[in-house]
Structure 1
Amino acid sequence: MIRSMTGFASGKGTLGPHSWTWELRSVNGKGLDMRIRVPDWLTGLEAALRGQMSKALSRGNVTLSLRLNRDESAPEIVLNETAMAAALAAVKRTQQMAEEASVALATPSAADLVALKGMLDAGADVDDPTALVKQLSTEFATVLAEFIAMREAEGQALAKVLDSQLDQVAAFTDQAAALAEQRKDKMADALRENLARVLENAQSADPDRVAQELALIAVKADVTEEIDRLRTHVTAARDLLAQDVAVGRKLDFLMQEFNRETNTLCSKAQSAELTSVGLELKAVIDQMREQVQNVE
């Protein structure tokens, strides 16, 4: 079962005075690129979330956001004035250095400074976020499972589209094989006529050498290998679609091989009908390649 790289999931939860909202989304990517946004003071949470996603996902540009709120009726939050003074001094010095280097910096807001680790003291739940981190890590597993389920559902839809396109490729390949078979006699007659004409107008020509050259031309016009490879690629693609692992990279490489064989087929066609079928093949393969870009 293939999976799409596009997905979305969300979730909510509460623990004591805290409530939160998860948002997990992804789009296409060559590898696995994870962007995780969680409060800095939740020590160990980002590493735990990154570990869960690394085990479950193979590809995609994945963004995870955690919005954490605290109930206003909770005990009063106390500002760590020493830490804040140090932070303000660091901001001031940074701005001075930036001005000296003619670099413009945005002024941090009060919310930015308060969000820094160690700025607030409001009881054990903030000083020691262990219980909150554990709860968030546990609940994220459910969000991740829903996210994967959505990617699998989209993957099933993708698989149906790709399977239908492979049917078209197989049908056009059979057409190309039939047309190539039909033109064999015509090509043989044309080669014999060309050989007779050359020998008639060039008495000193070596008949064996001329025959070798014409045979080489015939080989270059033969599309049997291309047709055989296209059929092999169709079988390989169907096998990949049936696997229960990430196959996006392999399918992408296979699309390149499909395109290569079709281009060669068109270059060897030497007939309007075979060229037309080759162009139809190229169109379907291009459509397949677009779909494959979204396969994990």
Structure 2
Amino acid sequence: MALSSMTGFARSHGSSGPYAFEWELKSVNAKGFDFRMRLPPGWDDIEPLIRKRAADALSRGTVYANLTVKRAIATSAVRVNEDVLASILKVAGELSAKTGAAAPTVDGLLGIKGVIEVVEPENDETEDQAARTAVVAAFEDGLKNLVEMRRREGVALGQILGLRLGEIEQLAAKADAAPGRKPEAVRARLAEQITALLETSDRFDPDRLSQEAIMIAAKADIREELDRIASHVTQAREMIGKGGAIGRRLDFLAQEFNREVNTTCSKANDLELTNTGLEMKNVVEQFREQVQNLE
């Protein structure tokens, strides 16, 4: 299974009957899965289905889905209200007979409120349902494109993480081979420090100092930390090789890397080993930054 990034963008559009629509999908990093959707008024009934589709396809990241719908303007119908017109003509005729006034003209009659009615076309339920089905299908197309883009970025992230792991491995080997870790170098350094202490005072017990020196040398040994770093590198490579939604687990492993490197730096007993530890710490931080983008 391939790795996936949490960042991506996709669009899809279509039309059905009098409706034209477009989806815009965008996803960004997040600790969990958060789906945020904006729908036009009157389209709320598709929300549960859209949310289910998104939750089935994605497991992590904040995803924004925005639907825009435009309906073609239908031609309104104009009709004459025959009942109102008949009533007006009757009254006009009676007034004309009584007063001798001229009969009303056509334009005068049409200007009377209620004679002319503008009838808006009714929604076709079959058309509306077909449009909803088409909108859901367009969302699925957009979601497929979003998932594909996240996977392409995931492949690139996997390659970068592999390079960082290789660098950590090389630096760990460099730390292991540091001249300052050689037994003879440790003994010489401790002997020099003990000699300096004995020269400053005759109250120091040489045997006691030797015992303390042995304990200090044991505590300064980084063999255990280097072994754990090597184990973490192996685990990380196995996770990346299997793929899937491994972002959280790799993030935890990155924290473990950081802990071991910090301990290595604190135990470093010479400048070269300290510099190697700091360099390794920088690479671990780069590794962790990239892990933050994984699903």
TM-score tier by shorter-chain length is 0.7 to 0.9
1:76 and 1:251 mapped to 2: Cα distance?
Answer: 61
Residue 249 of structure 1 corresponds to 248
Residue 10 of structure 1 corresponds to 11
Aligned partner of residue 36 in structure 1, secondary structure: strand
Residue 38 of structure 2 corresponds to 37
Q: Is the 8 A contact 1:240 1:247 kept in 2?
A: yes
Give the counterpart letter for 1:51 in structure 2. Answer: K
1:224 and 1:234 mapped to 2: Cα distance?
Answer: 15
Q: Number of residues paired by the alignment? A: 251
CA apart distance, 1:134: 2.2
User: 130-139 vs 279-288, which deviates more?
Assistant: 130-139
Residue 283 (structure 2) pairs with residue 294 (structure 1): no
Q: Is the 8 A contact 2:10 2:146 kept in 1?
A: yes
Give the counterpart letter for 2:71 in structure 1. Answer: R
Aligned partner of residue 236 in structure 2, secondary structure: helix
Residue 70 of structure 1 corresponds to 71
Residue 274 of structure 1 corresponds to 273
**1:79-112 deviation digits (Å, cap 9, x = unpaired):** xxxxxxxxxxxxxxxxxxxxxxxxxxxxxxxxxx
Q: Is the 8 A contact 1:75 1:122 kept in 2?
A: no
1:173 and 1:206 mapped to 2: Cα distance?
Answer: 35
TM-score (norm 1): 0.77
RMSD of the TM alignment (CA)? Answer: 2.6
Give the counterpart letter for 1:277 in structure 2. Answer: T
CA apart distance, 1:203: 6.6
**1:48-95 deviation digits (Å, cap 9, x = unpaired):** 1111111111111110001000012x2559xxxxxxxxxxxxxxxxxx
TM-score (norm 2): 0.77
**1:176-228 deviation digits (Å, cap 9, x = unpaired):** 11116753211123335556777896678594x55443232112110101111
Aligned partner of residue 4 in structure 2, secondary structure: coil
Where does the alignment leave 5 or more consecutive residues of structure 2 unmatched? 78-119
Residue 237 (structure 2) pairs with residue 234 (structure 1): no
Residue 86 of structure 1 corresponds to none
1:41 and 1:32 mapped to 2: Cα distance?
Answer: 26
Give the counterpart letter for 2:125 in structure 1. Answer: D
Q: Is the 8 A contact 2:6 2:28 kept in 1?
A: yes
1:222 and 1:197 mapped to 2: Cα distance?
Answer: 23
2:44 and 2:160 mapped to 1: Cα distance?
Answer: 44
Aligned residue runs from structure 1 range 17-166, under 5 A: 17-72=18-73, 74=74, 76=76, 122-125=122-125, 129-166=128-165
1:270 and 1:42 mapped to 2: Cα distance?
Answer: 68
Q: Is the 8 A contact 2:75 2:121 kept in 1?
A: no
1:76 and 1:58 mapped to 2: Cα distance?
Answer: 48
CA apart distance, 1:171: 0.7
CA apart distance, 1:11: 0.7
Q: Is the 8 A contact 1:180 1:223 kept in 2?
A: no
1:137 and 1:75 mapped to 2: Cα distance?
Answer: 28
CA apart distance, 1:254: 1.2
CA apart distance, 1:286: 1.5
Give the counterpart letter for 1:161 in structure 2. Answer: I
Give the counterpart letter for 2:48 in structure 1. Answer: A
Give the counterpart letter for 1:8 in structure 2. Answer: F
Residue 87 of structure 1 corresponds to none
1:178 and 1:229 mapped to 2: Cα distance?
Answer: 16
